[in-house]
A and B are shown apart, each in its own frame.
Chain A
Amino acid sequence: MTIWEKMQKVDRRILYAILVVCVCVGLFFPTTIPTDPDPSSKSFYAEVMKLEKGSTVIIQTDWTNSTRGESMGHFENLMRLMMHGDHKFVFYSAADPAAPQVARTVLARIVAERKGQGLREYKVGEDYIDLGFFPNAEATNTTMGSNLRSVWANRKSKTPTGGEVDVWQTPVLKDVKNIGDVDMMIVVTASASIDVAIQRLAQKVPITAMVTGVTGPGVLPFYQSGQVKGLAIGLKGVYDVEYMMVNGINDVEVEGKKVVEWDKVGKVDRVNEGTTFSRGRAYYGTLHVALVLLILAVVMGNVAMFASRRRKGDAV
């Protein structure tokens, strides 16, 4: 058996071991990598930063820990951006019963983090509302479009003091009559639930999205058509948003050159408080390693195949 034939029959456990070692090493050395954010990520950041202070935002959070490598980074960034802009938000899930609890955990962590940094503490019932889970995305989004007041009628929210209040009496929703009164809807998802939201609501409220790398290509046609105003895709999207939180767009300059340039918008401010670089920065180096490994695997697999074929041809 030649070396090429041996390479083609390499034990899969060796490949797994290489992956584990390479990925783990990368996680221990978070580095700031210069990048040029994708246009879709720039649109997302610009749209969110464009919101006036204290805007009302609906967040549909349809992810769980199975995709936390990407979605948790997205959700953390989103929470930081919301709190930075003093925006009021409602969050719910229409795809997974476990999703609201996962979102609650992340939200509690970000609230505690900001409190520890001496920033304003976000409070349930005053700054945000937790609406829980709706089992049918199609029916929920359709009804939200036709009558938002009725779809959330009788829903209660906790108050900071532990009591309960009708969600429509809270500072978050008291001025909202229909979905058109909401300034933006943001979908954080790892599934096709974003498609339903776009189909049912894109004509009624500006939608932006934070999706996983797998879901991203399916949402790109909606971004290109303008039905989705901004889109952060996958781990690159997480890092892109963090990078823009640090550098803004057409804002921070290094050696006379803008760090993030984009001719589609003017200056978009950076985020000058709290945590900015976080999970995206921690994982982005590892993504590089994993991708290099993947490309090497494809190349070496093909080289071994061609070399093996050639030897067989020579033998004949």
Chain B
Amino acid sequence: MNLMQYMLAQQAIEETFWRKAPGQGLILWVVIGLALGTGLCFLLSTVPTNLRKKVIFTFTFLAGLPYVLAFLWPRPISADFTNDVPRNTGEQIGFFINQAVEPVGTLTNILGGFLLGVGIFSLVRVHSIRIKRKQENWGYSLVLLSSFAIMTVVGFWDWRLRAFVDQTGALNVRDNWQPVNYAQDLLFEGIYQQMDSAMFSMIAFFILSAAYRAFRIRSVEATVMMASALILMLNLMGALTYAWGEGINNLVVQTGNPFLMNFKLNVFADWLRSTMQIPAIRAIDFGVGLGALAMGLRLWLGLEKGGVTA
């Protein structure tokens, strides 16, 4: 299967007002979309600043509208918005709004992918200029761009082989790999992923250093925090929890006082989590949620000074 056939196979299976199956005209639609998109980008780059703000506000508002309406408009329980038939006007509007959510979501995903492209363009541009002008640390830029180019070429080559050339699934077995498959494995698994792990593992060193140098009991609050942290850390140590628990069990048998069970490390840690930690986190979450709601509304309605009205 070549790329053209692959694209032709990508046909919508369910039609709504918001989405039409292009059928055999898919390529034509892609070309039209590309031409329109390019033209629109060109037009947007030429409009004055004041008009840009209005364009951004309009798109932001329209993108958010289906989600807000879908949340607020009453919806029939367990409705299948593609195959069911609405019974009245109210349901018809609900269906119409909910059918819009999926194309908007798809559009957002496409925009997310597009933004990756914008990021790559920006990265290449900035570092190319740095290399060209031999600015400070331009060697790092060279390494970055070389790595980027090698990773991209090898990655796409590997993908092309697996997606379009290998028709029998032979490349799923390592013994059948070609040099490019090994190269992809070396670059992704052998280098990139290992560096990712190494970067993250450095945190352990900083935590230990900070624990030794900075975690000081200077106040009542710090003492309470340290005591709580100590109990939760001890609870992570299964050997200690188990031994402590067995000791408490024996004590309960000897004294006949079941109240002592509350002093099991895991019971006490669980109590700390349930009655102290979780309510505190929930309170913070409420605050963050309200803030996000306010910020979302301000952005959506174009009221945020740092957003579309800047």
B282 within 8 A of A: yes
The 6 closest A-B pairs by CB, nearest first: A35-B238, A135-B112, A162-B169, A139-B105, A143-B105, A66-B200
Interface string of B70-107 (1 = CB under 8 A from A): 10000000101110000000000000001101101110
In this complex, which of B10, B111, B238, B273 has the most chain A Cβ atoms within 10 angstroms of its Cβ? B238
A75 proximal to B (CB < 8 A): no
| Among candidates A19, A35, A150, A180, residue contacting B14 with C-beta atoms closer than 8 Å | A150
Could you say which of A12, A67, A143, A162 contacts B167, with CB atoms under 8 Å apart?
A162
Q: Per-residue 0/1 for B206-240: is the Cβ within 8 Å of any A Cβ (1 yes, 0 no)?
A: 01110111011100000000100010011011111
Q: Is B3 part of the binding interface, using a Cβ–Cβ cutoff of 8 Å?
A: no
Given A33, A39, A135, A295, which contacts B109 in the complex, CB threshold below 8 Å? A135
Check A178 against B80 for contact (C-beta < 8 Å). Answer: yes
In contact, B277 and A220 (Cβ under 8 angstroms)? yes
A176 within 8 A of B: no
Partner of A19, one of B208, B237, B277: B208
* Chain B CB within 8 A of A81 CB: no
Chain B interface (Cβ < 8 Å from any Cβ of A): 1, 9-14, 19, 67, 70, 78, 80-82, 98-99, 101-102, 104-106, 108-109, 111-113, 116, 166-170, 172, 188-189, 192-194, 196-197, 199-201, 204-205, 207-209, 211-213, 215-217, 226, 230, 233-234, 236-242, 245, 266, 270, 273-274, 277-278, 281-282, 285
Q: A124-B172, A161-B169 are in contact. List 8 more A-B contacts (CB 8 A).
A: A36-B242, A66-B197, A139-B106, A162-B166, A162-B169, A234-B236, A300-B212, A301-B213
- What residue in chain B is nearest A9 (Cβ atoms)? B213
Residues of A within 8 A of B (CB): 8, 10, 12, 15-16, 19, 23, 33-36, 38-39, 64-69, 97-98, 101-102, 105, 108, 124, 134-136, 138-140, 142-143, 146-147, 149-151, 153-154, 156, 158-164, 168, 177-178, 180, 217-218, 220-221, 224, 234-236, 239, 284, 287-288, 290-295, 297-298, 300-302, 305
Cβ contacts A to B, 28 pairs, < 8 Å = A12-B209, A19-B205, A35-B241, A35-B242, A64-B196, A66-B196, A69-B201, A105-B189, A108-B172, A136-B111, A136-B112, A139-B105, A140-B109, A142-B105, A146-B81, A153-B13, A153-B14, A154-B13, A161-B168, A161-B169, A162-B166, A168-B13, A178-B80, A180-B78, A218-B285, A301-B212, A301-B213, A305-B216
Contacts of B188 in A (CB 8 A): 98, 101
Closest-CB distance, B178 to chain A (whole angstroms): 15
Q: Report the minimum CB–CB distance from B300 to chain A (whole Å).
A: 14
User: How far does the Cβ of A288 sit from chain B's closest Cβ, in whole Å?
Assistant: 5
Which residues of B sit under 8 angstroms from A140, Cβ to Cβ?
105, 109
Do the beta carbons of A291 and B237 come within 8 Å of each other? yes
A15 and B208 in contact, given A66-B196, A154-B13 (Cβ under 8 angstroms): yes
Chain A residues within an 8 Å CB radius of B274: 224
Looking at chain B's contact residues, the main secondary structure is helix
* Chain B residues whose C-beta falls within 8 Å of the C-beta of A142 in the assembled complex: 67, 101, 105
B236/A295 in contact, CB under 8 A: no
Please determine whether A16 and B208 come into contact, CB atoms closer than 8 angstroms.
yes
Residues of chain A contacted by B197 (CB below 8 angstroms): 65-66, 68
Q: Which residues of A have CB within 8 Å of B106? A: 139, 143, 151
Residue from A8, A136, A293, A302 with most neighbouring chain B CB atoms (10 Å): A136
**Known: A146-B98, A300-B212. Is A66-B199 also a contact (CB below 8 A)?**
yes
Q: Tell me the complex Cα distance, A287–B205, Å.
A: 14
Q: If A143-B102, A224-B278 touch, does A64 touch B233 (CB 8 Å cutoff)?
A: no
B1, B14, B207, B281 pick with most chain A CB within 10 angstroms: B281
The answer to whether A294 and B207 have CB atoms under 8 Å apart is yes
Contacts of A66 in B (CB 8 A): 196-197, 199-200
CA distance A8 to B233 in the complex (A): 23
User: How far does the Cβ of B301 sit from chain A's closest Cβ, in whole Å?
Assistant: 19
B105 is contacted by which of A108, A151, A284 (Cβ under 8 Å)? A151
Contact between A298 and B211, CB atoms less than 8 A apart: yes
Q: Give the chain B neighbours of A164 by CB distance below 8 A.
A: 1
Chain A residue numbers with a CB within 8 Å of B285 are 218, 221
Q: When chains A and B are docked, how far (Å) is the Cα of A285 from the Cα of B9?
A: 52
Nearest-Cβ distance from residue A75 to partner chain B, whole angstroms: 14
Indicate if the CB atoms of B189 and A221 lie closer than 8 Å: no
Q: Which residue of chain A has its CB nearest to the CB of B67?
A: A142
Say how far A296's CB is from chain B's closest CB, in angstroms.
9
